[in-house]
Structure 1
Amino acid sequence: MSKLPDFEALAIFAKVVELQSFAAAATELTLSKATVSKAVSRLEERLGARLFNRTSRRLALTDAGRTLAIKATQLLADGEALENEALAQSSSPRGLVRLAAPMTYGTGTIAPLLPEFLARYPDVSIDLNLSDATVDLIGEGYDAAIRIASLPDSSLIARRLCGVKRHVVAAPSYFARYGRPTHPSELADHKCFGYTYLTTPGVWHFTNDAGDLVSVRPSGPLHVNNGEAVMPALIAGLGIGGLPDFIVGEAIARGELETVLDDWSQTLSGVYLVTPPGGPRPARVEVLLDFLAEKLSDGGKRARKGERGD
């Protein structure tokens, strides 16, 4: 009777091909680099062909390696899909969920919810990636992401949780020195702080109740890739910012910042829970999605305020 295929070595080989690195594959698979190297060597010995041409700086597939990589990659994907499907049918959610979220919203809103979730589901663990950059859910292997946007990527499955109010703000000292704009077009004459990840970078869009649309391209002395990073400069009276309530709300309540253009609204946006398309989701992912929807939806937030007596 012939031996079974070396599925483990094939899967490790596929991961090395995907990441273009033995070390990266070892980290991803939580194996030693020596184990990864031995698995590929074992596969080469079994097949009687070299799979990689290795140099100190580069890892390149041979012709045999390229041919095998196609089938090995599919084998790894099929194996992961089978495992995920089996876990999805498990009555007890368990395993790792990879979740991405914007930095400030993640630290201020998502992270405080996680202790309750982890206590409720002790066999589930979470890998939380915080960045304002839009991650590639499918390419980078995320199970879900929180997105704050007006129109999420239509190729993903999006679930709207709640709205996000944005404010145009500055410190009282700034307005005392430079005046208060009364129309969005006047922002061109002010020092405004920029944010890298706007849907239309460098352009602020406004609407009012009459249906008027105004787009402005303000400029100023500071441009950031995280909204919270402009708070010290805003409070110091150095410029105007357009930021969501979850960043500036407390500073407004304390009187450190004041709002302007209250009759105008910046492009409406919301908090969305997005997931890759297709296939049943593992139970560990499903319970996290339901938990976040429960806590972050407009109805869920109103219920929690009532419990606190707000």
Structure 2
Amino acid sequence: MDTLLSLRVFAEVAEHKNFSAVAERLGLSPAMTSKHVKHVEARVGARLLNRNSRNVSLTEAGAQYLQTIRPLLDELAKAEAQLISNSLSPRGTLRMSMPVWMSNPAFAKLLTAYHQLNPHVTFDVDLSGRKISMVEEGVDLALRVAFKLDEGLIARKLADVTFQLVAAPAFLDNFGRPKTTGDLNNAPMLAYDQVAADGRIKFGGEDGVDVKLRPILVSANESILHQAAVAGMGFAMLPNWAAQDDIEDGRLEAVLPMIAWPKLHIQAIYADRSYLPAKVRSFLDFLAGPDGFSSILK
């Protein structure tokens, strides 16, 4: 039998001194209510209740046992109520891992907007770019553009991100400004190892062409690739929103801007849990909604 339920039944009967009333209150039959009490008595090896056709009373052992278990049952009920509250109302610390290129004003505004709606949720954000073990490290949510799912994890698509090939003007002055994708073959590439570690990029959508550049810097940290591109080290494939300010200010140039650039999914990765905490569920819904990624990704 369910020992925890048996303890609850015993406590209710002991306090209400009525098997029938407790049976109705808990949705049990009187016979099953009696079996639960007998189960507790068998476990402790003592008679806990005196009962006859009219009266129910505690034995000395029963009174002592009730005094011991009642605070434990009350604390358990309180803990369950807290968990139910947390599952319904977003609160607590949301531990996240995300790409370095999300460290920008646009995404900071998203965090701010969500926090204003959910002030009881705080953030603990990892931007190291390293591969993490979500379950072992207690990470609630990972945002990734490319990610191979480990067992026990699930992914939810949040948005599409368009990438573009960029390079510094000084670099292009020396290398030459490509006029066709063929001009990029074997060109020096600053490669994101989660997407194009081998320097291979597909242009023009599903029916496009592959171009094979030559990786001279490979990293999971998008920030160093971005900075190396601005410094004039080579070509880099960056998200539009990460490169746009540098393009407008002349630190970078868009290469072959008429090409249909690759699009990749931003995915939310999280543990496959039957009961997703409200802080995770609400943040996912916010990012996927009209005020989330779609409001800043162009």
Query: How does the TM-score come out when normalised to structure 2?
Result: 0.62
Q: Which residue of 1 aligns with 2:215?
A: 219
Equivalent residue for 1:124, pick from 117, 121, 138: 121
Shift of 1:250: 1.0
**Letter matched to residue 213 of structure 1:** V
Q: Which residue of 1 aligns with 2:135?
A: 138
Change (3 A) 1:246 1:133: farther
Structure 1 residue ranges without an equivalent (≥5): 1-78, 306-310
Q: Which residue of 2 aligns with 1:179?
A: 176
Q: Which residue of 1 aligns with 2:144?
A: 147
Change (3 A) 1:225 1:84: farther
Shift of 1:164: 1.0
Shift of 1:171: 2.0
RMSD value over aligned CA atoms?
Answer: 3.3
Aligned pairs for 1:256-267 within 5 A: 256-265=251-260, 267=262
Q: Which moved more, 1:284-293 or 1:181-190?
A: 181-190
CA contact (8 A) 2:189 2:213 kept: no
Shift of 1:235: 3.0
Query: What's the % identity of the aligned pairs?
Result: 27
Q: Spell out, residue by residue over 1:262-289, the C-alpha distance to the aligned partner (whole angstroms, 9 max, x if none).
A: 3544542021222211311122222222
Q: Which residue of 2 aligns with 1:170?
A: 167
Equivalent residue for 1:296, pick from 274, 283, 292: 292
Q: Which residue of 2 aligns with 1:45?
A: none
Determine whether 1:194 maps to 2:180. Answer: no
Determine whether 1:270 maps to 2:265. Answer: yes
Change (3 A) 1:235 1:97: closer
Looking at structure 1, the residues matched to 82 and 264 of structure 2 have their Cα atoms a distance apart, in angstroms, of: 34
Looking at structure 1, the residues matched to 269 and 85 of structure 2 have their Cα atoms a distance apart, in angstroms, of: 18
Determine whether 1:244 maps to 2:239. Answer: yes
- The runs of 4+ residues in structure 1 deviating greater than 4 Å are 82-85, 88-91
Aligned pairs for 1:24-43 within 5 A: none
CA contact (8 A) 2:204 2:262 kept: no
**Letter matched to residue 214 of structure 1:** D
SS at match of 2:94: strand
SS at match of 1:110: helix
Looking at CA atoms only, which structure, 1 or 2, has the larger radius of gyration?
2
Q: Spell out, residue by residue over 1:179-208, the C-alpha distance to the aligned partner (whole angstroms, 9 max, x if none).
A: 12234443344332233x323522322132
Looking at structure 1, the residues matched to 214 and 137 of structure 2 have their Cα atoms a distance apart, in angstroms, of: 34
Change (3 A) 1:301 1:186: closer
Looking at structure 2, the residues matched to 125 and 209 of structure 1 have their Cα atoms a distance apart, in angstroms, of: 39
SS at match of 2:215: coil
Q: Which residue of 1 aligns with 2:39?
A: none
**Letter matched to residue 272 of structure 1:** Q
**Letter matched to residue 269 of structure 1:** L
CA contact (8 A) 1:204 1:266 kept: no
Structure 2 residue ranges without an equivalent (≥5): 1-75
CA contact (8 A) 2:185 2:211 kept: no
Change (3 A) 1:174 1:91: closer
Looking at structure 1, the residues matched to 197 and 240 of structure 2 have their Cα atoms a distance apart, in angstroms, of: 20
Q: Which moved more, 1:274-283 or 1:111-120?
A: 111-120
CA contact (8 A) 2:205 2:261 kept: no
**Letter matched to residue 147 of structure 1:** R
Looking at structure 1, the residues matched to 120 and 143 of structure 2 have their Cα atoms a distance apart, in angstroms, of: 22
Q: Which residue of 2 aligns with 1:286?
A: 281
CA contact (8 A) 1:184 1:206 kept: no
SS at match of 1:199: coil
Determine whether 1:253 maps to 2:228. Answer: no
CA contact (8 A) 2:99 2:222 kept: no
Equivalent residue for 1:93, pick from 79, 83, 90: 90
Shift of 1:100: 1.3
Aligned pairs for 1:106-121 within 5 A: 106-121=103-118
Shift of 1:260: 1.8
Change (3 A) 1:264 1:153: farther
Query: How does the TM-score come out when normalised to structure 1?
Result: 0.60
SS at match of 1:192: strand
Q: Which moved more, 1:120-129 or 1:96-105?
A: 120-129
Q: Which residue of 1 aligns with 2:67?
A: none
Looking at structure 2, the residues matched to 194 and 216 of structure 1 have their Cα atoms a distance apart, in angstroms, of: 11
SS at match of 1:104: helix
